[in-house]
Amino acid sequence: MLKIATYNINGIRSRSSALLEWLRREAPDIVCLQELKAPDPAFPADAIREAGYGAIWHGQVSWNGVAILAKGMDPIESRRGLPGDKGDTQSRYIEAAAHGVLVGCLYLPNGNPQPGPKFDYKLAWFERLIAYAAGLHDSGHPVVLAGDFNVVPTDEDIYNPKSWLKDALLQPESRECYRWLLAQGWVDAVRARYPQERIYTFWDYFRQHWQKNSGLRIDHLLLNPQLAPRLRDAGVDRWVRGEPHASDHAPVWIELDMSAKKKAASRGRAAAKA
């Protein structure tokens, strides 16, 4: 099984030991990280390499920052930065090939407060993502789009929408963008695996929301048609959120069966017998 995870780490420097412990215990094959909150030279590449992972990263002072890790290999970078706005200097997208899949790692703008310029930027960024993702979807390659989308897709993805109704994460425009993206044919892997369950990936630091399990599902892994049939399992590593000094997000993961198709495999066995 190929295990792919996404984790908004909320500061790579203050969370590097947590990252290493999680890598050691869960051993994902590919990891997408968001919110490094550090410039490129501060990325703990040596410690990550000692843990058995190659990495590429696109940092930024104070905010944003994304990275892709791959177990036992260096990810082959195919893009950094989303196309469509050369004036956009925020580090929010990085993409690489690793272990036979193409991985887009994204950190979609939060968009608060709304309305306002930050919300406009969120929607504009989302529209650029939708435009670019169409090509990825149709590329014929196995592609996963993973990251912090900063969208609560439906009211089933939050403990109680009432106190978040004015938040950028729940706005109809944000949700509409997410639906438009899925309408290209992407499969929301966690929701596909658990159609009915209440699943959260983020619990804010306020009001003991973690202790009360008052969470939101905003970190997603989307699969294109080459990968969706291979989905076998998905989950959230909630134990990471319960550790001392944890990020406000927990890692989200999927497992894909990347073995050859059954028809091809049976043909292979038949050929071997003959």
CB–CB of 27/124 below 8 Å? no
- In the numeric block, the tokens 């927990």 are attached to 250
Binding mask 32-71 for DNA (x = CB under 7 A): ---x-xxx---------------------xxx--------
Say which residues have a Cβ less than 8 Å from residue 261's Cβ, sequence separation at least 6: none
Q: Which of 148, 167, 188, 237 is catalytic?
A: 148
**Distance separating alpha carbons of residues 25 and 95, to the nearest angstrom:** 25
Binding mask 122-161 for DNA (x = CB under 7 A): --------------------------x-x-----------
Residue (of 234, 193, 271) closest to 1 by Cα position: 234
Which CB, 203 or 253, lies closer to DNA? 203
Instruction: State phi, psi for 177 to the nearest 5 degrees.
Output: -60, -45
User: Is 113 in a helix, a strand, or coil?
Assistant: coil
On whether 167 is known to bind a ligand per the annotation, the reply is no
Supply angle C-alpha 14, 19, 22, rounded to 5. Answer: 145
Active site residue 249: yes
Q: Which of 58, 99, 137, 249 is catalytic?
A: 249
Active site residue 46: no
Sites for DNA among residues 214-273 (CB under 7 A)? 216, 218, 245, 248
Q: Are strands 30-34 and 53-58 parallel, antiparallel or unpaired?
A: unpaired
Chain residues that interact with DNA, rule: CB under 7 A? 8, 10-14, 35, 37-39, 61-63, 109-110, 112-113, 118, 148, 150, 167-169, 202, 204-207, 216, 218, 245, 248
Annotated binding site for Mg(2+): 8, 35, 148, 150, 248-249
